Structure 1
Amino acid sequence: MLCPKVWDLKAPQNHNEIARWSKPEIPLTISSHYYNHSVSVVAPRKRKLPVDIIDCILEDSEYYKVEGLPVSQIVDKEFVEAFVKKGELTLLSINTRIDLENCICVTPEGQLVLSLGVEDYQRLGIEGKQSYFDRSRSSRFVVQVDLREDTFTPGKKNYERVKKCLEENLEGLFDVIFIWEPSEKNVCPSSAAAWFHQKGYKVSLCRPKYSEILECDCRIPSVGSECDYERFLEWLGIFSIGGDVTNEDPENYVNSYISPSPNAPRGDLLHAQWTGLFSRKKLEKIYKEIENHVSHSSWVSLHVQGFADSPVSWGLKEHSFHTDGDNNYTIVFQETGEKLINKSLSSNNKPRNVQ
C-alpha cells in the first residue's frame, strides 16, 4: 500500500489529522490500527444499510475469549509455529487497566507487547523500555518480543531465556480476546480456539453487539469543495454518540454542532454500530464494500474506535488511557471517489501525515 505524497489539509494541534485521499489503495491508517473495538457506519437518506455491507461486517465476525491465560502459553513452540507464524493473530488482554495494571497484546505482525508495573518488570528479567507516559515516576515499562524472529525458536538462547522468564518470573493470569486469520484458506480460523481448549482453558465464542440510531427529517450536510471539514467531522461525531443533530435552538449547546453549511435537502440519517473485536483484515474488507456502494449516496462514513486499554494504539506506538484513550479514525466516502480521513494520533509522537 502506497502513501500519498500530497495532503490538502494540515493537521490541527489536537493530535487529529485530516486528509483527503484519492488513491485506489486502502489507506495504511487501517492496516496499522490493530485493536478495533467498534465499527460505525453513518448513511444519509437511509433507513437500512445495504445488505452487502451488513453481510460483510457480520460474516466471520466471531472472536474468542480465553480465561486465565499465562503469558508463557503464548510463546509455546507449537502455538507460535501454528498460529503466530502462519496467519495473523490479533490478541488483547481485557478487564485490565492500562494505567494501573499489567496489560498484554499480540499484534498481527507477531509482536508480543507487555505493559508492566515496575515491580513485575524488574522481576521479569527481559529488557524493555520506560513508558513514555510515565517518565517522571518510572513506575511502568514496556517489553516487546518479536515472536516471528528467526532466533525465536526452541533451542536458541533468545527463545529459551524469554520462555523461562515468562514461566518463572511473571505472575498473574490474563483474560484475553483474540482473532486468528490463517494464511491458508483451507484452515479453519477456530483452530486456535480449539488449541487453547485442548490445553484445558475455558474458551468462549463471542459475537459483536449491534445498535442503531435513526434520525428522521434532519438537516444533512453536503461534503464537497465548500465543506468545512472540521465542523463536518464534529457534527458527525455528535451524531455518532447520540447527540441531537436536529436542534436549531441558538441557546442550546448542541447548536454549535448542527449540520454545517452547505446543506442538502432534509432527510433521514442512519447510524449503525457493531461493538466487539475486529481485525484489520476485516476493516479492509468493510472499507472495500462501502466503497462499492457509495455511488448510491452522496456520502457514507465509517468510524472505527480502538480499545481504551490496549498497550499500543497505532502500529507499535505506546498507548495510554489518560493521555490518549481516544484512538480512532473516521473515513468519509464521497460519491466522487474521494475520501476524507480523520485520524486521532498517539500523544507520544508529534503529528504526522495520515497514512
Structure 2
Amino acid sequence: MSSHIPLPKEKHSQTKLYVTLSSLTSKKREDRRCIETHPFNYRCTILTSTPLQKQTVLKHIGGYYRVKLKPSDLISPDFINGYVKPDTIVALSLESRIDTGDVIAIDGQGTLILSLCKDTYEELGIVGSKAQFPLDDGSRHIVRIDLKAGVMDPSKKYYQRIKWRFDEVLDREMDFLLGRFDCKTGAALNFDMPGAMQCSPAVEEHVLRDIWVPGVDELFDESAKRPSDVWTERVSDIFEWIGVAASGTDGAQRLLSAKTTPAMAAATSDICTYSVDEPRSMSAA
C-alpha cells in the first residue's frame, strides 16, 4: 500500500494534505522527507505516548546560529565552497512573514530558495515559478538557485547576473538562522562565521493525561495495493484526532479524556460532540 495517501476531496477539497505512514526505523523515512521538502517551516509538533525528553531532543537537533547577512553573502564563493558544498547547510531568514514579505531559505540540499512578493520578483528579474500558496494567482513567486551547480562559478555569466541582481535588489542585511551539519552523520557542526551567535531550539511541552488514543495497527497493511473506503475514513478520523491533540489545550483534554467527570462533560457539551472512535486505547500524549 502506498504510504502517501491524499485525504478525501469531499472533506478537504481546498487543501493539499496527505496522510503519511512510515516507521522511524525505515531507510525511507517519510517524516524526514516531509521536513526536508518544506524549507520555510520553522517548527514542528511531535505527539508521543511517552514523556518527551527535552535534552535528548535538543541533543539530536543540535544548535543553530543567528547571524546578519546580505542575501548576496549566501552566493559568495567563500560561502558556497566553505559550507554548502562540503556540508549540509539549512538557513531561514527571520524578518518577514511568508505570506506578506520576502523570505529566503537554503534547503539542506544546496538549493537557495526565495519566496518573493510580486513587486520584488518583478524587480529582481530572475525567472521563477508561481507559488502554490496563497491561492491568489501570481501574488507570490518562488525562485530556486542550485548553489552547487557549475554555473555558480564567478567566471560564468549566469553567476555574474545573479550577483548583479542580488546586489541591486536584495542589498540589505537580514537576520538568518543557519544550521551546519555533517553531510554523512548529520551531526551538528560549529558555524565559525564572524558575528554568528549560537542559539538552541525552543521546546514547549503540553501533556494530556488519560486520554483516548485511536489505534493505528490495522492501518499498516502492506498487502493492500490501494486503500479501501474504510481505511480512508479511518485515516481521516485519526487526522482529526491529531488536530485536536496537537492543540494541547484544556479543551483538548476535555474532548479526549477517558476519565470524564460530570463537570468536564458539561463543559465539553457546549463546545462540540467529538469523540474518539474504536479501536482506541487510553494513554497520555
Given the two structures, how large is their TM-score scaled by the length of structure 2?
Answer: 0.73
1:259 aligns with 2:265: no
Q: Tell me what 1:284 maps to.
A: none
Provide the C-alpha distance between the structure 1 equivalents of 2:133 and 2:214, rounded to a whole number of angstroms. Answer: 39
Contact 2:71/2:171, CA 8 A, preserved across alignment: no
1:30 aligns with 2:47: no
Contact 1:113/1:142, CA 8 A, preserved across alignment: yes
Question: RMSD of the TM alignment (CA)?
Answer: 3.2
Bigger Rg over Cα? 2
Q: Tell me what 2:8 maps to.
A: 12
Contact 1:248/1:255, CA 8 A, preserved across alignment: no
How much does 1:217 deviate? 3.1
How much does 1:91 deviate? 0.7
State, as a whole percentage, how many aligned pairs show the same letter.
22
By relative contact order (CA 8 Å, sep 6+), the higher-ranking structure is 1
1:61 aligns with 2:79: no
Structure 2: gaps (5+ residues): 220-230, 258-263
Q: Tell me what 1:223 maps to.
A: 216
Distance 1:225 1:58, change over 3 A: same
* Structure 1, 7-16 or 148-157: larger mean CA deviation: 7-16
How much does 1:204 deviate? 2.2
* Structure 1, 121-130 or 143-152: larger mean CA deviation: 121-130
Amino acid at match of 1:233: F
How much does 1:104 deviate? 0.9
Contact 1:63/1:207, CA 8 A, preserved across alignment: yes
Q: Tell me what 1:236 maps to.
A: 242
Provide the C-alpha distance between the structure 2 equivalents of 1:235 and 1:209, rounded to a whole number of angstroms. Answer: 25
Contact 1:93/1:105, CA 8 A, preserved across alignment: yes
Provide the C-alpha distance between the structure 2 equivalents of 1:148 and 1:178, rounded to a whole number of angstroms. Answer: 18
Structure 1: gaps (5+ residues): 271-355
Q: Tell me what 2:82 maps to.
A: 82
1:206 aligns with 2:199: yes
Alignment of 1:1-355 (within 5 A): 6=2, 11-13=7-9, 14=12, 15-21=16-22, 24-34=26-36, 35=39, 36-44=41-49, 46=50, 48-49=51-52, 55=56, 57-59=58-60, 61-67=62-68, 69-133=69-133, 138-183=138-183, 189-190=189-190, 193-195=191-193, 197=194, 202-225=195-218, 228-242=234-248, 243-244=252-253, 245-246=256-257, 248=265, 251-256=269-274, 258-264=275-281, 266-267=282-283, 269-270=284-285
Provide the C-alpha distance between the structure 1 equivalents of 2:81 and 2:183, rounded to a whole number of angstroms. Answer: 12
Counterpart secondary structure, 1:205: strand
Paired residues, number: 250
Amino acid at match of 1:240: A
Contact 1:70/1:172, CA 8 A, preserved across alignment: yes
Provide the C-alpha distance between the structure 1 equivalents of 2:137 and 2:47, rounded to a whole number of angstroms. Answer: 43
Counterpart secondary structure, 2:196: strand
Provide the C-alpha distance between the structure 2 equivalents of 1:29 and 1:41, rounded to a whole number of angstroms. Answer: 11
Provide the C-alpha distance between the structure 1 equivalents of 2:206 and 2:216, rounded to a whole number of angstroms. Answer: 21
For residues 37-72 of structure 1, give each alpha carbon's deviation from its aligned partner in whole angstroms, at most 9, with x where no partner exists.
33443333x4x34x6x952553352111113x2111
Contact 2:123/2:169, CA 8 A, preserved across alignment: yes
Provide the C-alpha distance between the structure 2 equivalents of 1:248 and 1:95, rounded to a whole number of angstroms. Answer: 44
Distance 1:12 1:139, change over 3 A: closer
Provide the C-alpha distance between the structure 2 equivalents of 1:208 and 1:231, rounded to a whole number of angstroms. Answer: 31
Contact 2:106/2:113, CA 8 A, preserved across alignment: yes
Distance 1:260 1:76, change over 3 A: same
How much does 1:154 deviate? 1.8
How much does 1:208 deviate? 1.8
For residues 237-288 of structure 1, give each alpha carbon's deviation from its aligned partner in whole angstroms, at most 9, with x where no partner exists.
21221222215557343441x3321233x44x03xxxxxxxxxxxxxxxxxx
Contact 1:123/1:170, CA 8 A, preserved across alignment: no
Distance 1:237 1:154, change over 3 A: same
Distance 1:217 1:29, change over 3 A: closer
Given the two structures, how large is their TM-score scaled by the length of structure 1?
Answer: 0.60
Contact 1:96/1:103, CA 8 A, preserved across alignment: yes
Contact 2:87/2:182, CA 8 A, preserved across alignment: yes
